[in-house]
Amino acid sequence: MSHSSPRPRRFVKVAILTVSDTRSLATDSSGTFLQEALEQEGHQLVHRALVIDDIYQMRAVVSAWIADPEVEVILTTGGTGFTGRDSTPEALSPLFDKHIEGFGELFRQLSYTEIGTSTIQSRCLAGLANKTAIFCLPGSTGACKTGWNGIIREQLNSEFQPCNFVQHLGATAK
């Protein structure tokens, strides 16, 4: 009986987009948290940007990253609430080839233990587009910690079982 040796852990290339009308890269604590968290796991940051909450600016940046073979994962923070300017779901969900329905459901379940029923106002979402995973998180640093620690970190770990998203990303996607 032959045993195949386990594959070494594969790390991914990530882009971070902050959606905000009020922050700058210098004051973007949510984007900074995500960058530090992904780098601590061994992943590589390949792009980081900030745009105002504008559907077309978001689509332009994310579309370019989806087309870039160097980007395997896109993390966005901001624009997922219910204010008049919050438009991340409207901007990005049309770009998805497949929606990751369970992401928003699980995020809100985890968030409920932290902020109670206020989590119902989170419209966070995720999807796959051109073999690129896109996770759209709320703008607060606490919400980014919840999403990263509770879901995304494990799903970007190629060793996590029984399944993870790494197998669906970039050149290794089946």
Q: What distance separates the 2 farthest-apart alpha carbons in the chain?
A: 62
Question: pLDDT tens digits for the chain (174 residues)?
Answer: 445 557 789 999 999 999 999 999 999 999 999 999 999 999 999 999 999 999 999 999 999 999 999 999 999 999 899 888 899 999 999 999 999 999 999 999 999 999 999 999 999 999 999 999 999 999 999 999 999 999 999 999 999 999 999 999 987 776
Annotate 145-174 with DSSP letters as a single string. HHHIIIIIHHHT-TT-SS--SGGGSGGG--
Residue type, 102: G
- Give all domains of the chain, ordered by start, each with its CATH number: 13-172 (3.40.980.10)
Helix, coil or strand: residue 2: coil
